Structure 1
Amino acid sequence: MVVLVDKFIEKVVLVDKFIEKDKFIEKDKFIEKGLETKPLLQHSDYYVWDFWYYYDKKSQIYHLFYLNADRHLAASDRHHFFARVGYGTTEDFRAIKWIDYNVLSASSQRWDNTSIWTGDVIKIKQGFLMFYTSRNQQEDDGMTQNIGIAYAETIDAKQWQPLPDIRIAPDRQFYEPKNVVGDSSTHAWRDPFLFRDRGQIFMLLSAKSIHLPLGKKGAIALLRSRDGSLLNWESLPPISQSGWYSEMEVPQLYQDTQGEYKLIYSTWGKGDFAPTTHQAGGLQGLTASHWQNFNPQSPDLILPGRSGLYACRIIPELEGEIVGFNVKNGGIQRSGIKTNYREVNRDFKDIDCSVIGKS
């Protein structure tokens, strides 16, 4: 039986403390027992955390991109400052072929001269684009995040080529442009997620609202492509800014079986002040009949932080199963919880970026 809160997934009987009222099975024990039966996919040499992927429908292969760093750095949280992007493949998230630990990394010759953080990958006419997060250690306090774009002709390229002239920064009309003194968590302009709707291209980002109080600035930014080229973007008002979170990380958009939209995000319990979640943190979400009309007043708790998984992805190709990284040990792990969420329009194969292909 699936454990969720406030009817976020259909046909599930929900109880505040127990999964099944008559059996008195505690939620935490249920989740832990479920995870014990799912293989923890760890790299033999490196600590692995956030991931994103491109699914090839013809071959039915998931092409994974994952953050990784030397394993000994994780104990002191220093792995974030040495992160690079690795590549692997999987058929079902039960086993991963770890192919290359470094297909994109920072360079002292570019603006993104520190570690690489979470991204998104899409297919275009000329190949593939990877949107990623990075920083410049010489600017501000070294924590100001921007979005970069890298190109590869094939999804399994040994090295992705960053486009050095592209750097997507926050619009200070809506979003904090850098760290704010006294805030409880670092600057946020990261974790891109692209989608299309009615002939336009949009991007979601983890951000900080300029209009919210310290410690509760977490927001999900909305950007729109200016010309459909994927290279020029304009900032729009946040798609969500409730004032209840320090951070709203790894945002994604899906639809349920009834066609309603689901905006999901991850947050840590210590920065979760939503009245309906009781500082549970973890994977949470909002529901709306249209993706531009989310009401932030009633967030749903999908998978609490106690599950041990974070920065989770919904995998539509696996009946919407929740897959995340194991916080304690590193590595990628299925949850066994299936949402039946469907993918929104993320088909960019018709986009002509010939200028990129010739660079």
Structure 2
Amino acid sequence: MALKLPDRWIWDSWYVKDGDTYHAFYLCASRGLVDPNRRHRNPYVGHAVSKDLVNWTVLPDALAPSEENAFDSWTTWTGSVIKDDAGKWWMFYTGSAREDGGLTQRIGAARSDDLINWEKVSTEALVEADGEWYEKLDLTVWGDEAWRDPWVFRFPGETTWQMLITARSKSGNPKTRGVIGHATSADLITWSVQQPLSQPDQGFGQMEVFQYEIVDGVPILLFCCGWRELGEENVAKFGKIDTTYSLPVTSGIKDVDFRKAQAFTEKIVYAGRLIFGPDEKWYLMGFINEIEGKFVGELSDPIPVTADPILGIVPR
């Protein structure tokens, strides 16, 4: 595996390149918890660097939960990193709070000059789900309020920042109402929540860990979903696997139809990320979830991929 820690499990990860160095940020938790399901409420954001995506040097953790009375007083979960026009690095990430039992997910940010030392922007969240379009806390079906995994980027040639978010629609079948949450900003601090970029009832209860990239000329949405969150038709189509999915889209992410999404099964990785490698070719990296029913918690080796305008991400 590309990154395996003897004392910690690793799961969701996100990457940024600075010069010739790749920085991996990832959720991690102590193997001393014994039960891997406990990792979700005991995470830190770890940090490692590499020149080749294979050999990694582990650095001090990037983020930890805040003290009480903060949107992230319980957990710091999955995010993304970008550089602003002034050269400052921003990490947008998910938080949950002890004050509400960790049931409501919100999004905040931290800033850094060097990708090593991070300072949180605020104890308050910057982006929260808007009940006009999105499902708020409803314990009858899901048991949480989904608003996580922010992927921040700009469309080529534009100045507005875009954020893609794991979310659920307020309408539709509760079991298949996963949508792309969407927010925009001019300054990375003030965000306007927009209506979803997709419709509910397209076969997924939730789509996690979005990423948008133009891979070998093909605009791609990447996401993941566990089989227990699939609609019945998708279980029949893809089987009982927890994996990464891709969907070719328009360059502006319009008219998204997740019924055309395809599972990546060449190598099963969860929370997959597309990375433009040092050889100027594309790779997929994610974490190894389970093997024979046992949680693994390691980052995979980089998987060579390209994009097909119909099939999405395919092995290269």
- If the TM-score is normalised by the length of the shorter chain, which range does it land in? 0.7 to 0.9
Closer, same or farther: CA 185–315 of 1 in aligned 2, 3 Å: farther
CA distance in 2, matches of 1:161, 1:89: 21
Relative to structure 1, is the Cα distance of residues 83 and 51 closer, same or farther in structure 2, using a 3 angstrom cutoff? same
TM-aligned CA distance change 1:199 to 1:40, over 3 Å: closer
* Aligned partner of 1:62 among 1, 9, 22: 22
- Residue 131 (structure 1) aligns with: 92
Describe the superposition over 1:218-260 as per-residue Cα deviations: whole angstroms up to 9, x where unpaired: 22111111xx111111122212234211220000111233x33
Q: SS at the partner of 2:130? A: coil
1:326 aligns with 2:288: yes
- The CA distance in 2 between the partners of 1:186 and 1:111, in whole Å, is 15
Q: Which structure's CA Rg is the greater one?
A: 1
Q: Superposition pairs for residues 85-96 of structure 1, below 5 Å? A: 85-96=45-56
Which has the larger strand fraction? 2
CA contact (8 A) 2:133 2:169 kept: yes
Task: Say which SS state the counterpart of residue 174 (structure 1) adopts.
Answer: coil
Give yes or no for contact 2:245–2:261 (8 Å, CA) kept in 1: yes
2:151 alignment partner, one of 184, 189, 193: 193
Q: Secondary structure at the match of 2:297?
A: coil
The answer for the alignment partner of 1:272 in structure 2 is 230
Alignment correspondent of 1:310: 270
Q: Distance in 1 between matches of 2:177 and 2:215?
A: 28
Query: Aligned residue for 2:262?
Result: 300
Give the aligned partner of residue 336 of structure 1. Answer: 303
Alignment match of 2:196 (pick from 196, 217, 238): 238
SS at match of 1:239: coil
Pick from 115, 123, 145: which aligns with 1:164? Answer: 123
Report the CA distance shift for 1:185/1:309 in structure 2 as closer, same or farther (over 3 A).
farther
Deviation at residue 138 of structure 1 after TM alignment: 1.6
Which runs of 5 or more structure 2 residues have no equivalent in the other structure?
Answer: 290-294, 309-316
Compute the displacement of 1:130 (Å).
0.9
Is the aligned partner of 1:177 residue 2:136?
Answer: yes
Aligned-pair distance for 1:339?
A: 2.0
2:43 corresponds to 1:83: yes
Question: Matched residue of 2:174: which SS?
Answer: coil
Distance in 1, Cα, partners of 2:47 & 2:225: 25
Query: Match for 1:245: what amino acid?
Result: F
CA contact (8 A) 2:126 2:191 kept: no
Distance 1:326-1:205 versus aligned 2 partners, 3 A rule: same
Once the 2 structures are TM-superposed, how far is the Cα of residue 148 of structure 1 from its aligned partner? 0.7
Unaligned runs of 5+ in 1: 1-38, 342-359
Provide closer, same or farther for how the CA distance between residues 108 and 320 of structure 1 changes in structure 2, counting only shifts above 3 A: same
Q: TM-score scaled to structure 2, two decimals?
A: 0.85
For residues 106 and 333 of structure 1, the distance between their equivalents in structure 2, rounded to whole angstroms, comes to: 30
Three-state SS of the structure 2 residue aligned to 1:339 is: strand
Any conservation in 1 of the 2:69–2:99 contact (CA below 8 Å)? no
Secondary structure of 2:41's counterpart equals: helix
**Residue of 49, 63, 73 corresponding to 2:11:** 49
Q: Report if the CA contact (8 A) 2:153-2:162 is conserved.
A: yes
Q: Which residue does the alignment assign to 2:243?
A: 282
For residues 129-161 of structure 1, what are the alpha-carbon distances to aligned partners after superposition, in whole Å with 9 as ceiling and x for unaligned? 11010112222x42100001111222122x433
- Asked whether the 8 Å contact 1:43–1:98 carries over to 2, the reply is no
Tell me by how many angstroms 1:286 deviates: 1.8
**How far does residue 40 in structure 1 lie from its aligned partner after superposition?**
4.3
Q: What is the aligned-residue RMSD (CA, Å)?
A: 2.2
In the alignment, the residues of structure 2 paired with residue 51 and residue 72 of structure 1 have an alpha-carbon distance, to the nearest angstrom, of: 21
Post-superposition CA distance 1:135-189 (Å, at most 9, x none): 12222x42100001111222122x43342244310011111122x2332464311
The one-letter code sitting in structure 2 at the alignment partner of 1:189 is W
Letter of the 2:306 partner, please give it. Answer: T
Instruction: Kindly state the Cα deviation for residue 199 of structure 1 after the two structures are TM-superposed.
Output: 3.0
**Cα distance in 2 for residues equivalent to 1:264 and 1:102:** 25
Deviations 1:7-53 (A, max 9, x none): xxxxxxxxxxxxxxxxxxxxxxxxxxxxxxxx341123221111112
Shifted more, 207-216 versus 294-303: the winner is 294-303
CA contact (8 A) 1:271 1:281 kept: no
Q: Distance in 1 between matches of 2:33 and 2:304?
A: 31
Equivalent residues of 2:70, 2:124 under 8 A apart: no
Contact 1:87/1:103, CA 8 A, preserved across alignment: no
